[in-house]
Structure 1
Amino acid sequence: MDFHDDDDRILTPAEITALTSLSETSQWRGRKEGWFPPYLDLSPGRRGNTLGQIRRLMRERQAEAEARAKVGLDAKPRSRGRPKALTRLSN
C-alpha cells in the first residue's frame, strides 16, 4: 500500500454527505435500492464507507450522466410537480 493511497480511509456519514452532497436519507435510499455502497460496520457505534467506495460511486454516476447526455435522455424537460387541472371552455 502506497503511503499516499487514501482509498482505504474510512469516512464518517457527515464526510460522505459533504463529498456527495446527498442527504443521509438519500444515501439510505440508495443503499436500499443498491446503487449506493453499503456501510462498513466498524463497531456498534461506528460505521462508514471507504473513500475508495465513494470515489468509485462518483465515477460511475458521472459516467452514467455523460452516457445519458450523449443519447439525449437529459434533454427532455422535467415535470414540475402535479399538473394543473384543465379548464373547460364554455360554449
Structure 2
Amino acid sequence: MLGPSRQVARRTSRRTSRRVSRRQQGMYEDTYAEPEPEQSAPPPPSAPAAPAQPSYVAELEQLGQLKAQGLISEEEFEAKKKQILGI
C-alpha cells in the first residue's frame, strides 16, 4: 500500500498529464483543421449589351429598300419617313 504522499504525487501526476494532453490535442486540432473556404472574387461585369435599335430604324431601312427597288416614289418615301419619325 502507498503512503499518503505517494498517493497525492500520483494523483497530481495524472491530472497534470491529462491537462498537458488536452493542451497538445488542442494545438494539433488547429493544425489539422480544415481551412475555411476562400471567398471567390465576384464575377466580372458582363459586357454591356448593344443598345437596342429603335423600331423606326428597321422601318426606315425597309422603306429605303422599297425606294431603291423602284416600288415607291421619292414623294411616297419622304411622306412615310416623316410619318415614321413623327415630323
TM over 0.5: no
**RCO higher in structure (CA 8 A, sep ≥6):** 1
Please say which structure displays the higher CA radius of gyration.
2
1 or 2, which has the higher helix percentage?
2
1 or 2, which has the higher strand percentage?
1
